[in-house]
Chain A
Amino acid sequence: MSKVLVYIEHAHGKVPKASAVAVAAAGQVGGEIVALVLGKGIDEVATQAAALSGVTKVVAVDDDRLENYLADIYSTATLQIAEAEGADTVIAAATAIGKDFAPRVAQKMGAGMASEITAVNEDGTVVRPIYAGNVLATTKINTEKKVITVRGTAFEPAAADGSASVEKADLAADAASKMRFVNFEETKSDRPQLADAEIVVSGGRGLKSGENFTEVLEPLVDTMGAAMGASRAAVDAGFVPNDLQVGQTGKVVAPQLYVAVGISGAFQHLAGMKDSKVIVAINKDPDAPIFSVSDYGLVADLFTAVPEMVTAVEKVKSA
């Protein structure tokens, strides 16, 4: 039987939804699913990984050298476990980490790699969005071994109702990194993470400045209990940091509700949010392409509409 090794990410001791989605995709690829957890002090994460439905075993490699993520040693460790387990496919979430180290694993395994897939076909081919989401490509990996990264919105995440065993493995003595972790400047926010949020409120160039993101958009974000996002145009203009970018070159999100404020709706942005359940667009230009994908469109000046919406949402919530 074929075997799939799924790399399970973690931050602050928690497995993100993107990794549960990767496990779900592994279920569609078929075969026994082994989950891999790397890091230092990862017992709790290994337990969470063991609960993911479909996982038959967790391999945890707990080592000082893995305390901080570094591409080379994480790929070395993944390769080591893939070989020890006899895995023919390695799968990771298409997150900043998965995108960074999965190609290295593929190169060392002699495996072809399909990036950021959104579907697995019955014949084993996969589907991936290309050209900023304007095209869906059916892709075949010709090699015996395969590496796949999975778009975080493409599959229903694996449920947390399983109970696989956890096995510990030692990192090879000669495994070392040529890279040095210096620091991580975390974006401090009490808001939900963009990729996991039920509601996302995003601003575009229509906001006109970074100050307006703070003064006009953020009250709406917080009233709605949403995560904040932005269009690439707003990031390019320097209004907000790039980790808020929703789009093909940023984050792909599919929340229950997506509110696009002052966003015209370039292809590359639509590629990042068009799978949202309900889309609301607020824009003063009635011809903005964002209206062609929105469920509810409001043609209005955002500087009037957004404060009104804050009041209206507060009223509904307190009713």
Chain B
Amino acid sequence: MKILVPIKRVPDPQTNIVVKPDGSGIAEDNVKFVINPFCEIAIEEALRIKENQGDAEVILISIGDAVCQEQLRTGLAMGADRAILVVADKLLDPATTTEVLAKIVADEQPELVMLGKQSIDDDANQTGQLLASTLDWPQATFASKVEFSDDKSEVSVTREVDGGLETIAFNLPGIVTTDLRLNEPRYASLPGIMKARKKELKEIPLAEAGASDSLQVETLNLVPPAVREAGKTVETVEELVELLHSEAKLI
């Protein structure tokens, strides 16, 4: 089984995000960049499928400038087989990102594309679904469990939805997007890091990757949200409940 895992380079989720004064973007000085946490879960799941099935190949793809090699190398060090970087010097939107991924899917013919449910920078939560629609493939978003039939032709996915867990199944090829509880991603081992240096990392210029020039969705301006003022500190539980009762009138 060939598994394609698209990943994105994003600011470390622990980073304090600061909007540039002119609202054109976020300040990137001293910001550490990592693999988007949901993408990391997707890599881990693909590796586990490979370990269970034996004959799978895990291919990573990222879109961005040369620094994204860093995240691809990390994924290779975790155990992925090879990587593709579509070198882009401009920002794409989910639709153009999807066009690039669809081109790579056409070239690589994977049976499964495993993505994070959303990236923690743009928080759009669109790419997996857009790709599924473009390819007319079935999809299972927000996966918390992924299982294959004995002949590996069908995948059954438990999804974290409102009010409970839903399980759906479909024949491959298909798209799965990962939620938080699917797995706990491994750390790259030292031998893994050494091996990763020798693994293939192919670069493709954006111009050859099939993306439209125009964006469907554009971000015009960024501002920090309004700050909520801290209120009062109470000393005892009695005081708290009394205030909720008489002042806030909520109990």
Contacts and interface: CB of A to CB of B under 8 A. Distances in A.
Interface stretch (A166-174, A181-189, A201-209): A181-189
How would you classify the secondary structure of chain A's contact residues: helix, strand, loop or mixed?
mixed
B122 to A, nearest CB: 6
B180 A100 contact: no
A115 B125 CA distance: 7
B151 to A, nearest CB: 16
Interface stretch (B47-55, B57-65, B103-111, B216-224): B216-224
Contact of B180 (A106, A224, A235): A235
A23 B23 CA distance: 30
A308 B171 CA distance: 54
Contact of A139 (B19, B138, B163, B217): B217
B222 A137 contact: yes
Interface stretch (A24-32, A40-48, A58-66, A70-78): A70-78
A305 interface: yes
B71 interface: no
Interface in A94-111: 95-97, 99-104, 106-108, 111
B225 A129 contact: yes
A182 B95 contact: no
A84 interface: no
A236 interface: yes
A135 B222 contact: yes
B225 A133 contact: yes
B66 interface: no
B12 to A, nearest CB: 12
Contacts of B133: 75, 103-104, 107-108
B220 A178 contact: no
Interface string A194-225: 01000100000000000000000000000010
Given A139-B218, A294-B231, A99 B141 contact: yes
B201 to A, nearest CB: 28
A175 B134 CA distance: 17
Where chain B touches its partner, the secondary structure class is: mixed
A243 interface: yes
- Tell which of A116, A132, A136, A293 has the most Cβ of chain B within 10 Å: A136
Q: Quick one: which of A102, A111, A116, A316 has the most chain B CB within 10 A?
A: A316
Given A103-B130, A131-B120, A236-B180, A297 B170 contact: no
Nearest to A225: B251
A205 B64 CA distance: 36
Given A104-B132, A114-B217, A257 B250 contact: yes
Contacts of A71: 129, 132, 138-139, 141
Interface centre among A130, A183, A248, A278, by most chain B C-beta atoms within 10 angstroms, is: A130
Interface in A127-186: 128-143, 177-186
B162 interface: yes
Contact of A136 (B174, B224, B251): B224
9 contacts: A72-B139, A112-B95, A125-B220, A132-B123, A178-B171, A184-B161, A245-B180, A291-B230, A312-B237
The 9 nearest A-B residue pairs measured at CB? A112-B216, A295-B231, A103-B129, A107-B133, A96-B161, A104-B133, A312-B241, A182-B167, A178-B138
Interface of A: 11, 70-72, 75, 95-97, 99-104, 106-108, 111-116, 125, 128-143, 177-187, 193, 195, 199, 224, 232, 235-236, 241-243, 245, 248-249, 256-257, 267-268, 274, 278-280, 291-300, 305, 308-309, 312-313, 316-317
